[in-house]
Amino acid sequence: MAQHVLPHALKVPALEKLKGKRIVLASNSPRRKEILRTFGLAPDIVPSTFEENLDISQFSDPHEYPVATATHKAVEVYEKLVRDDPDNPPDLVIGADTVVLTHPQPVTSDTSYSLIPGINQELLEKPTSKEDNLRMLLDLNGQVCEVVTGLTVVYPVLTSPGYSIKSMDERSLVYFGDNHRHILEAYADSGEGIDRAGGFAIQGQAGMLIRKIEGDYNNVVGFPAASFFKFLDLLVEEDPDFLEV
């Protein structure tokens, strides 16, 4: 079995309990993989084939949307691995989904800003072209958006259906500066924002466009590691079946 907990990992309860376990990330995102490795976790990569086609309008709270998608991803991969090799089920499958929610009110000062969940928030999908990316950037310019990552873990238990599902979400605010159009056009032309939720990658050239963030930087990149490991520690403390089957 591959070594999933790396030598530099901190000796916290969850990571200690994950030693010797089969851990799977249901995502092919190099950013999520890199963030997890930074904190000492190197899971097997088994990308989900879930189409991510849930209708956000069916959710009364838009924050539930990425959690639902992450859950579908994690469950799909867990069930597939169990079908493929019933004698070697994974001990933990991690699913994640990151979305960007807009808000129409401009941010014109350095004061903090609080979003009212669900009020006038719209989902910014991945841009389909450079022109679509520029449209998104113009909409975000001088505005604040909310980055939400839904996280779900699936692990085996002895009761039906044979696994347990636990989920959480993490939220961060991203404040865009009042950028000149030529800067937004140059970023769209770079192609970096294609295939990124919201059309920007904060860890790349998009850092030039952003004035500040409130919350977890890693969450904006795509995986809120600090909250995730606290979440696992809580499961170790509260769920006697966690990683014991």
| pLDDT tens per residue across span 100-141 | 998 655 444 444 444 444 456 789 989 999 999 999 999 999
3-state secondary structure of 154: strand
| pLDDT tens per residue across span 217-230 | 999 999 999 999 99
β-bridge partners, 219: none
Say which of 91, 97, 169, 216 is annotated catalytic: 97
3-class SS string, the chain = CCCCECCCCCCCHHHHHHCCCCEEECCCCHHHHHHHHHCCECCEECCCCCCCCCCHHHCCCCCHHHHHHHHHHHHHHHHHHHHHCCCCCCCEEEEEEEEEEECCCECCCCCCCCCCCCCCCEEECCCCCHHHHHHHHHHHCCEEEEEEEEEEEEEECCCCCCEEEEEEEEEEEEEECCCCHHHHHHHHHHCCCCCCHHHCCCCCHHHHCEEEEECCHHHHHCCCHHHHHHHHHHHHHHCCCCCCC
Parallel, antiparallel or unpaired: strands 92-102 and 144-156: antiparallel
Cβ neighbourhood burial of 232 (10 Å; 0-12, 13-18, 19+): buried
At residue 68, the pLDDT reads 98
Nearest Cα residue to 23 out of 85, 76, 87, 81: 81
At residue 23, the pLDDT reads 97
Percent of the chain with pLDDT over 90: 79
- What is the pTM assigned to this prediction? 0.91
Confidence of residue 240 (pLDDT cuts 50, 70, 90): confident
Domain boundaries, the chain: 13-108+122-238
At residue 155, the pLDDT reads 95
CATH no. for 13-108+122-238 = 3.90.950.10
| pLDDT tens per residue across span 82-108 | 999 998 889 999 999 999 998 655 444
Q: Mean pLDDT for the chain?
A: 91
Can 139 be counted among the known catalytic residues? no
Confidence of residue 239 (pLDDT cuts 50, 70, 90): confident
122 or 192: which leads in pLDDT: 192
Question: pLDDT at residue 59 above 80?
Answer: yes
